[in-house]
Structure formats: C-alpha cells, structure tokens
Amino acid sequence: MANDKINEDALAAEWGQALEAEGNAPGAAPDVEAGADTAAADALLDENQFMQSAKAGTERILTQEEIDGLLGFSLADVALADNSGIRAIIDSAMVSYERLPMLEIVFDRLVRLLTTSLRNFTSDTVEVSLDRITSVRFGDYLNSIPLPAILAVFKAEEWENFGLITVNSSLIYSIIDVLLGGRRGSGAIRVEGRPYTTIEANLVKRMLEVVLADAELAFKPLSPVKFNIDRLETNPRFAAITRPANAAILVRLRIDMEDRGGTAELLLPYATIEPIRGVLLQMFMGEKFGRDPIWEGHLATEIGHAEMAVDAVLFEAKLPLRQMMQLQVGDTLPLEIKPDALVSVRCGDVTLTEGRMGRVGDRVSVRVSKPLRKPKMTLAMFENAEESRHRVEAP
C-alpha cells in the first residue's frame, strides 16, 4: 500500500515537471493548449486522490455497535423475538414457548392473581401486566441483567429443579418506599452505588413470597407444585442454576404503582418444566392425551358382553408318539387321578378356576369350588361401565 502511494506521487510529480517544461520551452503552444494540459493534470491528480481515499475507506475499522448490528447481537435486548444475523441462526434451534400453549394461559392467570395479591400486600393501587414471554439462553440472560438488582433462586420441590426471579432496582425502591409509608405522587428515592440493607432485602423477599405463592396457584390446575426461596443474590454469577448454553423461558412482568414501579422477570429453565411438558402441550385446560373416558366406558361394556370359550380339563398327560400310533379301537387309557379329583377350568392357556364334575339332568356339569384368579387389572372399570349402561337404558 505504501509503495503504491509513493509510485502515484512520483508519477504526479513527473507530470507536473513535464507540463512546466512544455510551458517554458520556446515556441510553446498557445494559452488555450496550456490550459487544457493543466486541466488534464488536475483531473489526473483528482483521480489519484479518489483512489487513495477509496483504498483508505476499505481500511476503516467498524465500531462495536456496527459489529453488533451486523451480527445481530445485543446484550441489552437479548430476548427480543426479532433477532437477526448470526443470533437468529443460533437461536433457530431453541424451543419456542409457543410450542407449549398452556404456558401463556398459566402466566395470564398469574397476572390476575398477582394484581389482587399485591394490592392487598401494599394497600395501594397496583397494576400488573404481562410484558412478554420469550426463550433465551441462560448465559446471555445473566449477562443482560442491569445492575443493581436482586436475584431470588427458588426451588420447585415436585419438579426437583430451580428457577430464578430478577427484580430490578426501580421495583425494589418502589416496593420499599410503598411498604415504609412513602407519600404518593413522589418518585422513589434511589441510592445507587451501595449494597441493599437487610431490611430492604427482607421487604423484597416478602414480595417475592407473594409472587411465588400466586405462581403455585397458577400452576395448580396443571400440576401441584411448591416454590420455596432458596437464596437471594445481588451478583448474577452466584445465581447460576443451569448451564449458560441451556435454553430457558423468560417471563417479564410489569408492576406499576401509580407513578412508581418496575419489572420482575421470572426465568424457568426447560429442564425445570420438563416433568410437566406433556401437560403444557395441551391446547386447552383438561385436554386428555391417549385416554378418552367415553371410549373407555364403551370398550369396557363391550368386553363385559363378549363371549369366551371355556374348557373343562379333567386330566392331561404326555404320551410317547410310538404309544399313540399303536392305539386301537377298544383300547383303554388309564387316568392317574382319583374319582374325586378337581377339574381345571381354562380359557385357552389361562387357568381360571377349578371345580368338581357332576351331572344336571342329562348334561355333565362342573361346580366351581375355588374363587376365580384375581386379575391383574381392577374390575371397577367394568362395574362403572355397567352402571352407566343401566342409567342410559333406564326410562
């Protein structure tokens, strides 16, 4: 690059010297021709300058904002759904919450419950709204948390895993101001640059207990669960509950108290909600998967009316094939049993019960002397089906 610049400067200097020599020589061309040569030299110099500026433009270093915009990375807004660039390619393999339709219903119910609970908790006008539900990488979310903030790690006992609630500084100071009797109409006073005191942390913990209690009620129709606060942290590094690359559900709740308020974010890793994934796949509350009670009752009724062949086996023995081939008409086969031996009642290869052989009129009969073998499945379904059939047939 430097050699090209030196050569171009030397070429321009040679052109200038040649033009000066032609202008000073005797018998030079008229002024019109000299002006034309000067214009040509100026044009050549302009072209050289343009080439140099173009080469310099290719060496311009992009700023960090331009690089982030080109790649689609943005730590401040990592959870937006309209990602582009490489971020969109990376996140294309993530599971979207839209594949779990019941999640939105659960969190809508949480918003309604939380609005009432926080009004009772603060004795003030509180409005809770659902900002958005997105899928994020856990590591990216931790890097995007604006500090200072309080992070509450809670454990879902029945699911045997953890979740995370993040309360930003605006909501923290607003709750503290409201609970300690702050006047309405005045914004919460923020004292940045210092850790939260024990009183402030305890007040925020009481609010988080209210939020988790309502979350339990919101999930109860799907799966009973108990959320217990494990610890409070102010440093995101100490709030790691899963691997940084793992996907998680992020729910942002907006809590407004007149002119005060802030946001609380509820994060549930996919590993946490995996035990109830089948329930979250429902399109509506109470949807059944692989089980229809109407068809179940109909099947039980039809099975109860089905006919089956039963064999009464008095004796069984294994004889050699040679003896069987030598049997003649009139031969007698002795049975090695006593006259009062029990008869085995079978259905196929399954022995149902045993009984004694007798006679009723001109027919041979078997009296059942032992109870039927207890089946592996209960007969309650057949009894319920029979009762429902009688109710349907009753006038």
Average of pLDDT values for 192-197?
74
Sequence-ordered list of residues with C-beta below 8 angstroms from that of 44, at least 6 positions apart, any chain? 12, 15
pLDDT of 195 reads: 79
Asked whether residue 63 is assigned to any structural domain, the reply reads no
Is residue 219 a contact partner of residue 110, using CB atoms and an 8 Å limit?
A: no
> Per DSSP, which regions of the chain are E strands?
127-137, 149-156, 161-168, 227-233, 247-257, 260-269, 311-313, 343-347, 350-360, 363-368
Looking at the fold, whether 110 and 200 belong to one and the same domain comes out as yes
Q: What is the mean pLDDT of the chain?
A: 76
CA 283, CA 69: separation in Å to the nearest integer? 37
- The pTM is what? 0.51
Please give the pLDDT value at position 267: 92
Torsion-angle region of 286 (φ positive above 0: left; ψ -120 to 50: alpha; else: beta) = left
Asked if pLDDT for residue 190 goes beyond 70, the answer is no
Q: Which of 140, 163, 133 is nearest to 90 (CA)?
A: 140
Q: Report yes or no on 43 lying in a domain.
A: yes
Q: How confident is the model at residue 27 (pLDDT cuts 50, 70, 90)?
A: very low
Backbone angles phi, psi at 266, to 5 degrees: -105, 120
| pLDDT > 80? residue 63 | no
Whether residues 314 and 274 share a domain: the answer is: no
Of residues 209 and 374, more confidence is placed in 209
- pLDDT in the model for residue 196: 83
Select from 11, 36, 58 the last residue of a domain: 58
Indicate if 33 and 121 belong to the same structural domain: no
Q: Is 213 found in the same domain as 109?
A: yes
**Least confident among 107-121, 178-192, 197-211, 234-248:** 178-192
Q: Domain of 304: which CATH number? A: 2.30.330.10
Helix, strand, coil percent values for the chain (each to nearest 5): 45, 20, 35
Mean pLDDT of all residues in 334-351: 81
pLDDT greater than 80 at residue 42? no
Q: Give domain status of residue 70, yes or no.
A: no
Asked whether residue 89 is domain-assigned, the answer is no
pLDDT for position 364: 84
Q: Identify the pLDDT of residue 2.
A: 47
Q: Which residue has the higher pLDDT, 62 or 322?
A: 322
Residue 35 in domain: yes
Number of folded domains that form the chain: 3
Both 168 and 191 in one domain: the answer is yes
Q: Are residues 220 and 175 in the same domain?
A: yes
Give the domain-ending residue among 280, 301, 336: 280
**Is residue 316 a part of any domain in this protein?**
yes
Question: What was the pLDDT predicted at 208?
Answer: 92
pLDDT of residue 377: 55
What is the pLDDT at residue 237? Answer: 87
Higher pLDDT, 389 or 54: 389
Choose from 38-47, 71-80, 102-111 the range with maximum mean pLDDT. 102-111
pLDDT of residue 96 exceeding 70: no
- Of residues 95 and 87, the one with the higher pLDDT is 87
Any idea what the CATH number is for the domain that residue 217 is in? 3.40.1550.10
pLDDT of residue 254: 92
Same domain, 200 and 325: no
**Assigned domain for 64 exists:** no
The domain of 359 spans: 293-393
| Domain presence at residue 67 | no
10 Å CB burial of residue 214 (0-12, 13-18, 19+) is: buried
Share of the chain above pLDDT 70, in %: 66
- One-letter identity of residue 204: V
Residue 147 is predicted with a pLDDT of 81
What pLDDT, on a 0 to 100 scale, did the predictor assign at position 59? Answer: 58
Lowest average pLDDT, out of 2-11, 107-116, 238-247, 321-330, goes to 2-11
Confidence of residue 392 (pLDDT cuts 50, 70, 90): low
Q: What is the pLDDT of residues 276-322, one digit of tens each?
A: 888 887 776 555 555 567 777 777 888 878 888 888 887 888 888 88
What does the pLDDT read at residue 79?
46
